[in-house]
Structures are given as C-alpha cells and as structure tokens.
C-alpha cells in the first residue's frame, strides 16, 4: 500500500492550490474552493466536498466501486436559473457558511478546470414540478387559484430549486459566534475525535468543508426578480423534521407549517413576487433524530403527562441544551439571494427573526401557523413555544402550560 499522505504541513507534496481570498469581488482573485483529494497537495481547504456524504464517497472507494481519481463530467450541469452575483457576496462577513460562487464554478473557473484543477460545484440549481395534497386542498377550498403557469388545476407547482453544501470561512464563523478562531478550531478538532488535524496544524487554511447537512431552497415565481428592492418576498424558513415532513407524525407542527409556507409562497409568486422556502438539514433542532425520539419518550412518560411546562426542559435533560440549530448562520442564504427584506415570513420563531434582523434583513410581516392546522398532539409544542417567546398574538397562562395535552406512549 502507498504511504499515507498527511496534510499537516503546507510544504508536503506538490504545489498547493492558492488560498481563497474570501469576499474578493473578482472571482479570479477570490479563487476556487478546492476540496478534492485526487491531487492531495493541490487543496486550499480542510475537509472534503459533499458534507456528510463525503464518508459514503470514501466507502465507495474502499469497496472498490468508485475510482479514487474519478472526475465528474460537468457537461450540461450549469444552473437552470442564474442567481447573483449580488453586493453581499463581496462583504466577506455577510456570507460565512456557503460559497456564493458555488453554482458558477464551471463558468468563472473554466480556465482552471481546463488546466486540470479538480474543482467541484458546492451548489446546484435545477427546475421541477412539485405536487402536495395540501396544495390540492387549498385549491379545493378556493384559497389558491390555478394560473396555468406557476400552479396548474391539478395542483402541479413549477419550482426552481437549489441544493447547497456548507463551506465555512472559519474567521467569519468564529466572529459570528463571538469566539476566538483558535478556540473554535481546537474545539472542532477535539469534538470530532481529532478527525481534521489541519484545524489545529494549518491556521493558513481558512476554509472548512464540515461533514454536516446543507440546505435546499425552493423558489416560486421568477427567480430573476431576486436582488431587486421592489420585489416582494414570501418565505418559509424550515428546519428538517423527517417524522412530520415526510411521515405526517402529529406531534409537531412542522409539515402543516411547511405546507402553509408553500401556500403563501405560491400566492406571492402569483401576485408578481417571489416565494422562497429554505429547508435546512437540522433534524431535531440539530440534535439529531435519536435525541429527539429519546425526548419524546421522556416527555410522554413523565409524571403528570406531556405538558408544555416540561417541553423544553425534557430536551435539555437529554441533550444538555434545548436547541443546537445556531440560527446565526442561516441568514447567509438570504445574503446569497440578494434578499434584504422579507415581506411575509411564515415562522413564529424569535430565534429565526432575531438572527435575520441581526444581519440587517428586515421582516415586514410574521405569519403564524393558522390554528386549524395545528395537530392535536402538537398543542404541547405550540404552548411551550409561545411561552418561550415565539411570535404569537396570545400567550398561554400557567394552568395551560401545566396541563397535559399530549398523548401518552400507549394511547
Ligand atoms: N429535539 C427535539 N426537536 C424537535 C422536537 N419537536 C420538533 N423538533 C425539531 O425542531 C425543528 C422545528 O422546530 P420547531 O420548534 O417546530 O419550530 P421552529 O422552526 O423553531 O419555529 P417555526 O419557524 O415557528 O416553526 C425541527 O428540526 C424538528 O425536527 C422535540 O420535541 N425535540
Ligand atoms: Zn416536527
């Protein structure tokens, strides 16, 4: 077997890829993010592409199903819609967790690709039709009307969608959280079991491709209107909840709120604006689904039953914190899209609205989930969230919070 290549020192191996100048206006100066390992020295990041799927790639190579030197053929893969560049791309501290040029690498780094550099897109943009029973219900109830362009009479909705992988600029990430970059690097190194040595040995490498999930953005309406001050924007900012989003579990409001968000996005697009649904892979408030299911059991088995008063407390008992979503990073996607104002925002989360306002993004109207869409077993969650500071016209009293409203485990 060949000797093991370590990336612990810049001078090991051949010519390194030049460092990325984060936020530079000219893409030729900014330079591409090179996170491939085929030419092990010719890199300028810590980690590899594809987020958590980088591990499957390694597995495929170990299992001899994928050649280690496979290069993607990028013919015809360019974005189905153009996004940017927008002014926020050139303010380095505004976008710290994704590469704003990630969808345009074949275009702006064509010369380097032709010269043999192994550069991968970190964003892909395509088009599709989607169809959801909730949109059919909105049509049947007359809340939405077909326009034979965005929404058909059979409930087909035309969308553009973008898949985004995380690219972290460590100096900016540290500053966003108010921690020292050296402390951030050391903690990332230690808490991943020493997975990325360069975090501590290569302070010259400022970019990290973390092994985490990214985001998908669904656009409704004319994407070319983004970045214009006059364009009205509707938005649902959603964090993954597989149990509800896909399987219709009734313990939370996730899918109903997502569907309501899509409804207001279609409505906005039909009125000449743009609807934007952002779906972040942050299952179980980024605590993961195992933790979430442990918490469900703890909630439903506690003496006195499943009540709002104990809702966040039970999560904290298991996970140590109530939430790890770090909404501080989420506004980056809005900067990437040139959105400075959200006219209709389908979310009651004060953590989301605070993080957006902190980044200078105005929220004109916050749209709560309509009462009739709240599933029975999710009343616990709704009361707990309202009591914790979520946006709501009414706050539940202490009697309401103490009352067990959720089902027991065997009901
Ligand atoms: N750990 C844990 N996660 C949960 C629980 N219920 C929902 N989630 C997760 O929380 C996230 C959704 O957050 P919610 O609290 O429903 O709402 P929000 O996103 O904060 O606010 P809204 O925008 O108003 O919906 C998703 O990632 C869900 O998987 C729970 O009981 N425990
Ligand atoms: Zn949920």
Please give the full DSSP string across 44-106, using - where no structure is assigned.
-EEE-SSGGGHHHHHHHHHTTSS-TT-----TT-S-SS-----GGGGSTTT--SS-TTTT-HH
Question: Does the Cβ of 30 fall within 6 Å of ligand 1?
Answer: no
Question: Does the Cβ of 378 fall within 6 Å of ligand 1?
Answer: no
Query: Residue 1: pLDDT band by 50, 70, 90 thresholds?
Result: low
How much is the average pLDDT of 15-38?
95
Q: Which pLDDT does position 381 carry in this prediction?
A: 84
Question: How far is the C-alpha of 190 from the C-alpha of 192, rounded, in Å?
Answer: 5
Q: Which pLDDT does position 410 carry in this prediction?
A: 81
Mean pLDDT of all residues belonging to the chain: 93
Q: Which pLDDT does position 10 carry in this prediction?
A: 56
Contact yes or no for 23/50 (Cβ under 8 A): no
Query: Residue 148: pLDDT band by 50, 70, 90 thresholds?
Result: confident
Q: What distances in angstroms separate CA 156 from CA 130, 146, 159, 275, 278, one per listed residue?
A: 6, 9, 10, 16, 19
Q: Which pLDDT does position 325 carry in this prediction?
A: 94
Give the three-class secondary structure for 288. coil
Question: Does the Cβ of 42 fall within 6 Å of ligand 1?
Answer: no
Contact yes or no for 134/265 (Cβ under 8 A): no
The string of DSSP letters for 92-143 reads TTT--SS-TTTT-HHHHTHHHHHTT-----SEEEEEEEE--HHHHHHHHTTS
Question: Does the Cβ of 261 fall within 6 Å of ligand 1?
Answer: no
In this structure, which residue's CA is closest to atom 14 in ligand 1?
254
pLDDT for 13 beyond 70: no
In what side-by-side order are the strands of the sheet with 123-130?
A: 123-130, 157-164, 215-220, 274-280, 233-239, 341-345, 362-366
pTM: predicted TM-score of the whole model, two decimal places: 0.94
The closest-lying atom of ligand 1 relative to the alpha carbon of residue 282 is: 27
Q: Which pLDDT does position 146 carry in this prediction?
A: 98
Q: Which ligand is nearest to the CA of 349?
A: 1
Decide the pairing of beta strands 207-209 and 168-169.
antiparallel
The closest-lying atom of ligand 1 relative to the alpha carbon of residue 351 is: 20
Q: Which pLDDT does position 314 carry in this prediction?
A: 87
Question: Does the Cβ of 263 fall within 6 Å of ligand 1?
Answer: no
pLDDT tens readout for residues 170-198: 999 999 999 999 999 999 999 999 999 99
Q: Which pLDDT does position 235 carry in this prediction?
A: 98
Residues with Cβ within 8 Å of 113's Cβ and at least 6 positions away in sequence, in order, are 74, 105, 106, 119
Name the one residue in this structure whose structure tokens are 């985490």. 212
Q: Which pLDDT does position 176 carry in this prediction?
A: 96
pLDDT for 69 beyond 60: yes
Q: Which pLDDT does position 277 carry in this prediction?
A: 98
Q: Which is nearest to 329 in space by CA: 132, 114, 97, 145?
A: 97
Question: How far is the C-alpha of 276 from the C-alpha of 269, rounded, in Å?
Answer: 10
pLDDT for 214 beyond 60: yes
Annotation marks residue 323 as catalytic: yes
Contact yes or no for 208/45 (Cβ under 8 A): yes
Q: Which pLDDT does position 382 carry in this prediction?
A: 85
The complex's ipTM?
0.93
Chain-centroid distance, C-alpha 102: 15
Distance 347 CA to ligand 1 centre (A): 11
Q: Which is nearest to 150 in space by CA: 237, 218, 103?
A: 218
User: Which of 40-49, 144-153, 287-296, 400-409 shows the lowest per-residue confidence on average (mean pLDDT)?
Assistant: 400-409
Question: How far is the C-alpha of 78 from the C-alpha of 125, rounded, in Å?
Answer: 8
Ligand 1 binding pocket mutation candidate from 215, 257, 284 (most atoms within 8 A of CB) = 284
pLDDT for 142 beyond 60: yes
Q: Which pLDDT does position 5 carry in this prediction?
A: 62
Helix (H), strand (E) at residue 264: helix 254-270
Question: Does the Cβ of 287 fall within 6 Å of ligand 1?
Answer: yes
The closest-lying atom of ligand 1 relative to the alpha carbon of residue 368 is: 24
Question: Does the Cβ of 252 fall within 6 Å of ligand 1?
Answer: yes
How much is the average pLDDT of 217-235?
98
The string of DSSP letters for 301-329 reads HSTT-SBGGGHHHHHHHHHSSS----GGG
Query: Residue 8: pLDDT band by 50, 70, 90 thresholds?
Result: low
Ramachandran assignment for 178, one of left (phi > 0), alpha (psi -120 to 50 degrees), beta (any other):
left
Question: How far is the C-alpha of 90 from the C-alpha of 46, rounded, in Å?
Answer: 22
User: Which of 283-287, 317-321, 400-404 shows the lowest per-residue confidence on average (mean pLDDT)?
Assistant: 400-404
Give the three-class secondary structure for 381. helix
Q: Which pLDDT does position 375 carry in this prediction?
A: 86
- Residues 41, 175, 331, 253: is their CA dihedral positive or negative? positive
Query: Residue 398: pLDDT band by 50, 70, 90 thresholds?
Result: confident
Distance 245 CA to ligand 2 centre (A): 7
Question: Does the Cβ of 283 fall within 6 Å of ligand 1?
Answer: yes
pLDDT for 284 beyond 90: yes
Distance 244 CA to ligand 2 centre (A): 5
Query: Residue 61: pLDDT band by 50, 70, 90 thresholds?
Result: very high
pLDDT for 159 beyond 60: yes
pLDDT tens readout for residues 194-213: 999 999 999 999 999 999 99
Query: Residue 7: pLDDT band by 50, 70, 90 thresholds?
Result: low
In this structure, which residue's CA is closest to atom 18 in ligand 1?
349
Contact yes or no for 377/400 (Cβ under 8 A): no
Give the three-class secondary structure for 334. helix
Question: Which residue in the list 267, 323, 332, 383 is annotated as catalytic?
Answer: 323
Question: Which residue in the list 255, 299, 314, 325 is annotated as catalytic?
Answer: 325
Burial class (CB in 10 A: 0-12, 13-18, 19+), 8: exposed
User: Which of 167-171, 244-248, 399-403 shows the lowest per-residue confidence on average (mean pLDDT)?
Assistant: 399-403
Annotation marks residue 325 as catalytic: yes
How much is the average pLDDT of 115-136?
97
Query: Residue 354: pLDDT band by 50, 70, 90 thresholds?
Result: very high
pLDDT for 403 beyond 60: yes
Ligand 1 binding pocket mutation candidate from 253, 254, 385 (most atoms within 8 A of CB) = 254
pLDDT higher for 310 or 27?
27
How much is the average pLDDT of 357-384?
91
pLDDT for 14 beyond 80: no
User: Which of 112-121, 256-265, 325-334, 387-396 shows the lowest per-residue confidence on average (mean pLDDT)?
Assistant: 387-396
């Amino acid at each position: 077997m060949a000797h093991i290549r370590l990336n612990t020192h810049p001078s090991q191996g051949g010519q390194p890829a030049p460092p990325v100048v984060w936020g530079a206006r000219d893409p030729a100066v900014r330079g591409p993010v090179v996170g491939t390992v085929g030419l092990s020295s010719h890199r300028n990041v810590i980690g590899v592409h594809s987020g958590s799927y980088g591990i499957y790639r390694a597995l495929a190579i170990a299992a001899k199903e994928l050649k280690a030197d496979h290069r993607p053929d990028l013919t015809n893969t360019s974005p189905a819609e153009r996004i940017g560049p927008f002014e926020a791309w050139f303010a380095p501290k505004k976008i710290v967790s994704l590469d704003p040029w990630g969808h345009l690498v074949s275009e702006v780094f064509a010369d380097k690709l032709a010269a043999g550099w192994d550069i991968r897109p970190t964003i892909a943009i395509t088009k599709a039709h989607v169809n959801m029973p909730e949109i059919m219900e909105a049509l049947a109830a007359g809340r939405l009307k077909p326009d034979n362009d965005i929404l058909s009479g059979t409930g087909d909705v035309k969308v553009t969608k973008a898949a985004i992988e995380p690219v972290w600029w460590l100096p900016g990430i540290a500053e966003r959280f108010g921690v020292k970059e050296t402390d951030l690097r050391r903690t990332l190194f230690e808490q991943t079991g020493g997975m990325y040595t360069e975090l501590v040995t290569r302070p010259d490498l400022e970019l990290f491709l973390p092994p985490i999930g990214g985001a998908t953005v669904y656009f409704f309406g004319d994407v070319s209107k983004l970045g214009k001050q006059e364009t009205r924007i509707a938005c649902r900012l959603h964090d993954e909840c597989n149990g509800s989003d896909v399987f219709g579990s009734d313990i939370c409001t996730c899918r109903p709120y997502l569907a309501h968000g899509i409804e207001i996005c279609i409505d906005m697009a039909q009125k000449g604006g743009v609807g934007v649904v952002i779906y972040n892979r942050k299952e179980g408030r980024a605590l993961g689904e195992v933790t979430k299911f442990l918490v469900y059991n703890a909630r439903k088995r506690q003496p006195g039953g499943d009540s709002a008063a104990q809702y966040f407390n039970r999560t904290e008992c298991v996970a140590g914190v109530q939430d790890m979503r770090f909404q501080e990073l989420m506004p980056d996607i809005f900067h990437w899209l040139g959105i400075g104002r959200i006219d209709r925002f389908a979310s009651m989360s004060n953590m989301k609205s605070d993080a957006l306002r902190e980044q200078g993004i105005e929220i004109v109207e916050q749209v709560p989930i309509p009462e009739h869409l709240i599933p029975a077993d999710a009343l616990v969650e709704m009361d707990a969230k309202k009591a914790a500071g979520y946006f709501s016209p009414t706050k539940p009293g202490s009697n309401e919070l103490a009352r067990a409203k959720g089902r027991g485990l065997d009901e």
